[in-house]
């Protein structure tokens, strides 16, 4: 067992990291987490605080679109935000780039993600057509966000990835 009290990884004094992972389209839970994190920072202020989102923003939950909206425009104040790419974002981007291979995305919650953008994929629908309808509904800011996600971030002695 690792003795966490003697772990060699550290941050500089007066720094803190908050990491949030696997939101999966659950907007209300994300908002609640952000409120709790902001309250903690307010109660225990530091000079520098990071808010790292570890990926899997989309799929399964009912409001992937709302989650990305919040990540783009609704973060709590006082944080250096970072956004990592999860495997579900990779599946979504794979669907956009090669829709003929999109069944894995759709079967892993991608169908719910598309519905959150107002796109309902019909049984037997051509996947290129479904992708094109999704692209028409997907705000450019969301596409840009998804394409610019990082694979890792290092803060102090810590490396954050979606694993």
Residues that are catalytic? 88
What span, in angstroms and rounded, lies between the C-alpha atoms of 116 and 83?
A: 21
What span, in angstroms and rounded, lies between the C-alpha atoms of 25 and 109?
A: 10
What span, in angstroms and rounded, lies between the C-alpha atoms of 102 and 126?
A: 10
What span, in angstroms and rounded, lies between the C-alpha atoms of 31 and 42?
A: 16
Residue 120 near residue 114 (C-beta atoms within 8 A): yes
Residue 158 near residue 15 (C-beta atoms within 8 A): no
In the chain, % helix, strand, coil (3-state, to 5) comes to: 45, 15, 35
């Amino acid at each position: 067992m690792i003795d966490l009290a003697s772990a060699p990884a550290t941050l500089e004094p007066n720094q803190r990291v908050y990491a949030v992972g696997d939101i999966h389209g659950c907007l209300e839970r994300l908002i609640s987490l952000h409120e709790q994190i902001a309250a903690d920072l307010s109660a225990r202020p530091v000079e520098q605080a990071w808010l790292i989102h570890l990926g899997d923003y989309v799929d399964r939950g009912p409001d992937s679109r709302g989650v990305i909206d919040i990540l783009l425009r609704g973060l709590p104040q006082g944080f250096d935000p970072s956004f990592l790419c999860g495997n579900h974002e990779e599946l979504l981007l794979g669907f956009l780039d090669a829709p003929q291979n999109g069944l894995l995305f759709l079967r892993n919650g991608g169908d719910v993600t598309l519905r959150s953008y107002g796109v309902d994929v019909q049984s037997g629908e051509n996947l290129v057509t479904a992708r094109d309808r999704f692209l028409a509904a997907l705000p450019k800011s969301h596409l840009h966000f998804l394409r610019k996600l990082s694979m890792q971030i290092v803060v102090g002695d810590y490396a954050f990835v979606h694993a």
